Amino acid sequence: MGLLNFMKSAGKSLFGGDDAPEPEALKKELADLGLDAEGLDIEVDGDTVKVSGTAVSQEAKEKVLLAVGNVAGVAAVEDNAGGAEPVFHEVKKGDTLWAISAATLGNGARYEEIFEANKPMLTHPDKIYPGQVLRIPQA
């Protein structure tokens, strides 16, 4: 369990503003991304999204947490879904997947692992932005 912080003004806008999205809009976004949220409940409390239940896998849970957190208007995601504590990285100005990979995985050439771990939210290795939170795959 934990609270993951996100940049409220960064991310995909579901309504064209910084207002917190409704749970149904978040569920639609997850479906549009092709993410499996089966077994997970999503609630919105102000600018915090609460995710609880049991995900089909640790990877699925982590991708759901990221997808709902990287939406404009969401400042935090409360992880009540159990499982291992995920490892994330907040993109800073000037970051590249190569640099993030070197810092978190010990080898910049492993950047493709981070890219793959963040699909379908990432569509190209060069399309990351400050404030975005990325999943760092663990062995």
Do 49 and 110 lie in one domain? The reply is no
Q: Among candidates 103, 74, 72, which has minimal Cα distance to 88? A: 103
Of the three residues 38, 53, 80, the one that is the final residue of a domain is 80
DSSP-derived secondary structure letter, 119: T
Do 69 and 129 lie in one domain? The reply is no
Q: Among candidates 43, 47, 26, which has minimal Cα distance to 35? A: 26
Reply yes or no on whether the pLDDT at 112 is more than 80.
yes
Do 66 and 18 lie in one domain? The reply is yes
CATH number at residue 63: 3.30.70
* Percentage of residues of the chain with pLDDT beyond 70: 89
Do 44 and 104 lie in one domain? The reply is no
Spell out where 1-139 has E strands: 2-5, 40-45, 48-53, 76-80, 88-90, 133-135
Reply yes or no on whether the pLDDT at 95 is more than 60.
yes
Sheet containing 48-53: which strands, arranged edge to edge? 2-5, 76-80, 48-53, 40-45
Domain that holds residue 52: 2-80
For residue 16, which amino acid is it?
G
pLDDT-wise least confident of 8-12, 66-70, 109-113: 8-12
Of the three residues 64, 80, 96, the one that is the final residue of a domain is 80
- Count how many domains the chain has: 2
Cis peptide before 21 (omega within 30 of 0): no
Of the three residues 80, 105, 125, the one that is the final residue of a domain is 80
Q: What is the pLDDT of residue 51?
A: 94
Take residue 118 and report the two structure tokens written for it.
């963040």
Do 105 and 76 lie in one domain? The reply is no
